[in-house]
């Protein structure tokens, strides 16, 4: 299982004439080649779950797939959907209703073994829809 980390750095930047207000790339250039001195004053490291790191990446404007590899069994999923849980699939079977569900043909099972018998599974929206 992949491990994910959030590292927060507090960096002191010393400059002459004007305050530093650039981004990471500018900071590195100024401290290595320019007219600034920089030092890491505090480092906070937190272990994150896959869900937490995905939200943090979205908050930064990055696609979560930047760090999180899609699982083999997720390759068939349309964007915005996840595989239904056993309880959700049972609800669909029992009541005939599961808001926003779709049936998705599978090309491989959870172990990556190719599907050859026209297998399909139930997928539901990542953000559950409200029943009308």
Instruction: Please determine, for residue 123, whether its predicted confidence score (pLDDT) is greater than 70.
Output: yes
Other Cβ atoms less than 10 A from the Cβ of 38: the count is 16
Instruction: Please determine, for residue 43, whether its predicted confidence score (pLDDT) is greater than 90.
Output: yes
Highest mean pLDDT among 72-81, 90-99, 112-121: 90-99
Q: How far apart are CA 29 and CA 57, in angstroms?
A: 24
What residue ranges do the domains of the chain occupy?
Answer: 1-69, 71-132
pLDDT higher at 129 or 67: 67
Other Cβ atoms less than 10 A from the Cβ of 83: the count is 18
pLDDT of 109 reads 65
pLDDT higher at 116 or 21: 21
């Amino acid at each position: 299982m992949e491990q994910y980390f959030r590292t927060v750095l507090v960096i002191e930047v010393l400059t002459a004439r004007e305050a530093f207000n650039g981004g990471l790339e500018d900071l590195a250039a100024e401290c290595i080649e320019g007219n600034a001195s920089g030092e890491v004053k505090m480092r906070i490291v937190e272990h994150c779950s896959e869900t937490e790191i995905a939200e943090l990446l979205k908050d930064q404007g990055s696609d979560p797939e930047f760090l999180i590899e899609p699982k083999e069994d997720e390759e068939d999923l349309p964007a915005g959907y996840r595989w239904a849980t056993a309880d959700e699939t049972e609800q669909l079977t029992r009541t005939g209703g599961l808001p926003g569900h779709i049936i998705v043909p599978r090309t491989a099972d959870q172990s990556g073994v190719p599907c050859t018998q026209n297998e399909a599974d139930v997928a539901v929206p990542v953000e559950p829809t409200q029943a009308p």
